[in-house]
């Protein structure tokens, strides 16, 4: 049983470009959350998707957007990249958002984004 997978593993972009990161949740999971982890910092919540809709959002600008597909996989899109967007982007999946905190989040290995 594959866990949470993310692609690509590494990515280099220049300022102003756009990027799309992808996440496949753990088998049986239907909720996907995205986090940004800057160097030397803890992960920060970007947003969460359930039933193909954004359900919760952290303190991130509209340049950060996402999508969830019918097979529960998800994409994170970042437009007009800034140097400060360089970070490790983590995807986490869980089961049935809103049913309580026993829905443990399982994390993927992350995508390392470097903006030059």
Partner 1 sequence: AQSVTQLDSQVPVFEEAPVELRCNYSSSVSVYLFWYVQYPNQGLQLLLKYLSGSTLVKGINGFEAEFNKSQTSFHLRKPSVHISDTAEYFCAVRAQKLVFGTGTRLLVSP
> Which residues sit at the interface with partner 1, rule CB under 8 A?
4, 33, 35, 40-45, 48, 56, 58, 90, 92, 101-102, 104-110
Provide the minimum distance between the beta carbon of 59 and partner 1 in the complex, in angstroms, as a whole number: 10
Which residue, 13 or 45, has its beta carbon nearer to partner 1? 45
| Paired strand residues for 33 | 48, 92
Quote the tokens at residue 31. Answer: 């909720």
Which residue, 42 or 70, has its beta carbon nearer to partner 1? 42
Provide the minimum distance between the beta carbon of 4 and partner 1 in the complex, in angstroms, as a whole number: 7
Which residue, 56 or 77, has its beta carbon nearer to partner 1? 56
Contact residues for 2 (Cβ-Cβ < 8 A; gap 6+):
24, 26, 27
Which residue, 44 or 86, has its beta carbon nearer to partner 1? 44
Spatial contact of 6 and 91, defined as CB atoms under 8 Å apart: yes
Provide the minimum distance between the beta carbon of 109 and partner 1 in the complex, in angstroms, as a whole number: 5
Radius of gyration of the chain measured on its C-alpha atoms? 13
Spatial contact of 115 and 99, defined as CB atoms under 8 Å apart: no
Burial of 23 (0-12, 13-18, 19+ CB in 10 A): buried
Provide the minimum distance between the beta carbon of 7 and partner 1 in the complex, in angstroms, as a whole number: 13
């Amino acid at each position: 049983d594959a866990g949470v997978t993310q692609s690509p593993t590494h990515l280099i972009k220049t300022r102003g470009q756009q990027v799309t990161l992808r996440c496949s949740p753990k088998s049986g999971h239907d909720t996907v959350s995205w986090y940004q982890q800057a160097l030397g910092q803890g992960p920060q919540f970007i947003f969460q998707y359930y039933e193909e809709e954004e359900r919760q959002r952290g303190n991130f600008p509209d340049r950060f957007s996402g999508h969830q597909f019918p097979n529960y996989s998800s994409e994170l899109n970042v437009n007009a990249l800034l140097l400060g967007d360089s970070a490790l982007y983590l995807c986490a999946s869980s089961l049935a958002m809103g049913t309580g905190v026993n829905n443990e989040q399982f994390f993927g290995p992350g995508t390392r984004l470097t903006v030059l």
